């Protein structure tokens, strides 16, 4: 009886090890350099070599988890977050899933970090297969502008809006950041996009204490953002120059901020019109 038990246990271990060996996994951080508070997105790719469809889903343990460390090897404190949903992988196929590490870990300090994904094809077991680590960096960015706004929300708290400039490998980028004015804690960092500093960004607070930013993103296009004190992007629209002068932010009646001296620009509508012109020109 004991021999039969040992044989079954050994077979289970062999099958479990074989199952893990029949999966290939990798992780890639989509950007190497980030601003503190910005979403850090890790893409995990899984390939199924088992010869049949597999469904990875959490039972005793989640089918995927992450180990995040500083450059000194210290683990980063994890946040409470929902378990990942199941993933179905057909035989011989690969799937990729994106995970926001900023939601899962307390990435509040600048520095260098490494992340490893732990994949558990058998989620009844604590052990899993680790991907090779990926590295990324967090920095503070260069403050460009800031303004505190009081009496925000039902509790009357004070928020600080900040505009940050960040030089990536290829371009200048602009970020909006929301901070708790009392504690200085960063609540949210929002990437606004590439910025050309040939024209200074226009910034104003409207009558509802929303942050409005208008900036030049390429030689012919401006982008306007309206962001709430909670960090919600309320509007994002694009504009082109009118006949004379540059677009500008103007506070109208009742404190509404609008873009004036501009022509509203819809990239999708422009592409549709361009395609229609091409089709007409192709007619015999």
Domain ends where: 138, 160, 193? 138
Rounded-to-integer distance, Cα 265 and Cα 133, Å: 42
Q: Residue 89's pLDDT is what?
A: 93
Are 27 and 44 in contact by the 8 Å Cβ rule? The answer is yes
278: its two tokens: 């091409």
3-state secondary structure of 58: coil
How far is Cα 36 from Cα 141, in angstroms, rounded to an integer? Answer: 8
> Which of 111, 138, 165 is a domain's end point?
138
Q: Could you tell me the sign of the dihedral formed by the alpha carbons of 268, 271, 275, 281, in that order?
A: positive
pLDDT band at 18 (very low <50, low <70, confident <90, very high): very low
SS3 label, residue 56: strand
Query: How far apart are the C-alpha atoms of 199 and 221, rounded to whole Å?
Result: 12
- Whether residue 275 lies inside any domain: the answer is no
Q: Residue 117 has which token pair?
A: 């994904």
283 is a domain residue? no
CB count within 10 Å of CB 172 equals: 13
Task: Let me know whether 170 and 145 are in one domain.
Answer: yes
Indicate the SS3 state at residue 128.
coil
Q: Which CATH number goes with the domain that contains 65?
A: 2.60.40.2970
Question: CB neighbours of 13 closer than 8 A, spacing ≥ 6?
Answer: none
Task: State the Cα–Cα distance between residues 173 and 165, nearest whole angstrom.
Answer: 6
**Percent of the chain, pLDDT > 90?**
59
Same domain, 166 and 60: no
Regarding whether 85 and 186 lie in a shared domain, the answer is no
Domain coverage including residue 48: 2-138
Could you tell me if residue 132 is inside a domain? yes
> Which of 28, 30, 32, 29 has its CA nearest to residue 166?
32
Beta bridge partners of 142: 165
From the CA atom positions of the chain, what is the Rg in Å? 25
Instruction: Assess whether pLDDT exceeds 60 at residue 9.
Output: no
Determine, yes or no, domain membership for 278.
no
Q: How does pLDDT run across 77-110, given as a tens digit for each residue?
A: 999 888 888 999 999 999 999 999 999 999 989 9
Give pLDDT, residue 245. Answer: 85
Q: Does residue 37 belong to any structural domain of this protein? A: yes
pLDDT averaged over every residue in the chain: 86
Q: Is residue 277 part of a domain?
A: no
CATH number of the structural domain spanning residue 167: 2.40.128
- State phi, psi for 124 to the nearest 5 degrees: -80, -10
**CB distance 238 to 262 below 8 Å:** no
DSSP H or E segment with residue 87: strand 87-89
Task: Give pLDDT, residue 153.
Answer: 66
Distance of alpha carbon 92 from alpha carbon 103, whole angstroms:
32
pTM: 0.73
Same domain, 70 and 91: yes
In angstroms, how far is CA 67 from the centroid of its own chain? 18
Please report whether residue 276 resides in a domain.
no
Residue range 52-82, pLDDT digits in tens: 999 988 778 899 999 999 999 999 999 988 8
Same domain, 207 and 131: no
Higher pLDDT, 254 or 215: 215
pLDDT digits (tens, 9 = 90+) for 234-247: 999 999 998 888 99
Q: Which of 86, 104, 138 is the last residue of a domain?
A: 138
Tell me: do 252 and 193 sit in the same domain. yes
Confidence (pLDDT) at 138: 94
How many domains does the structure of the chain reveal?
A: 2
Do 159 and 110 fall into the same domain? no
Structure-model confidence comparison of residues 154 and 278, the more confident one: 154
Q: Give me the residues paired with residue 54 across strands.
A: 89
Instruction: For residues 145 and 56, state if they share a domain.
Output: no
Cα separation of 87 and 248, whole Å? 47
**Is residue 127 domain-shared with residue 6, that is, in the same domain?**
yes
Same domain, 172 and 238: yes
Q: Say whether both 93 and 155 belong to one domain.
A: no
Whether residue 242 lies inside any domain: the answer is: yes
Regarding whether 156 and 93 lie in a shared domain, the answer is no
Residue 134 pLDDT = 96
């Amino acid at each position: 009886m004991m021999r039969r038990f040992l044989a079954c246990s050994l077979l289970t271990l062999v099958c479990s090890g074989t199952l893990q060996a029949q999966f290939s996994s990798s992780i890639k951080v989509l950007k190497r350099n980030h601003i503190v508070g910005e979403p850090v997105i890790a893409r995990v790719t899984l390939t199924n070599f088992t010869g049949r469809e597999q469904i990875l889903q959490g039972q005793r343990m989640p089918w995927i988890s992450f180990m995040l460390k500083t450059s000194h090897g210290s683990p980063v404190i994890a946040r409470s977050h929902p378990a990942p949903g199941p993933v179905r992988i057909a035989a011989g196929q690969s799937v990729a899933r994106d995970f926001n590490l900023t939601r899962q870990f307390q990435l509040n300090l600048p520095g260098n970090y490494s992340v490893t994904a732990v994949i558990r094809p058998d989620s009844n077991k604590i052990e899993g297969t680790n991907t090779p680590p990926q590295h990324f960096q967090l920095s503070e960015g260069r403050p460009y502008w800031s303004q505190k706004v009081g009496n925000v929300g039902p509790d009357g708290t004070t928020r600080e809006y900040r505009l940050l400039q960040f030089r990536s490998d290829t371009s200048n980028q602009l970020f909006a950041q929301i901070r708790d004015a009392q504690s200085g804690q960063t609540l949210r960092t929002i990437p606004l996009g590439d910025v050309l500093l040939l024209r200074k960004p226009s910034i104003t607070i409207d009558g509802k204490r929303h942050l409005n930013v208008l900036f030049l993103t390429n030689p012919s296009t401006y982008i306007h953002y309206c962001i709430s004190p909670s960090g919600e992007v309320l509007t994002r629209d694009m504009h082109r120059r009118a006949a004379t002068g540059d677009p500008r932010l103007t506070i109208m009646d009742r404190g509404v901020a609008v873009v004036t001296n501009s022509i509203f620009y819809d990239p999708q509508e422009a592409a549709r019109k361009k395609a229609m012109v091409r089709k007409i020109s192709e007619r015999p």
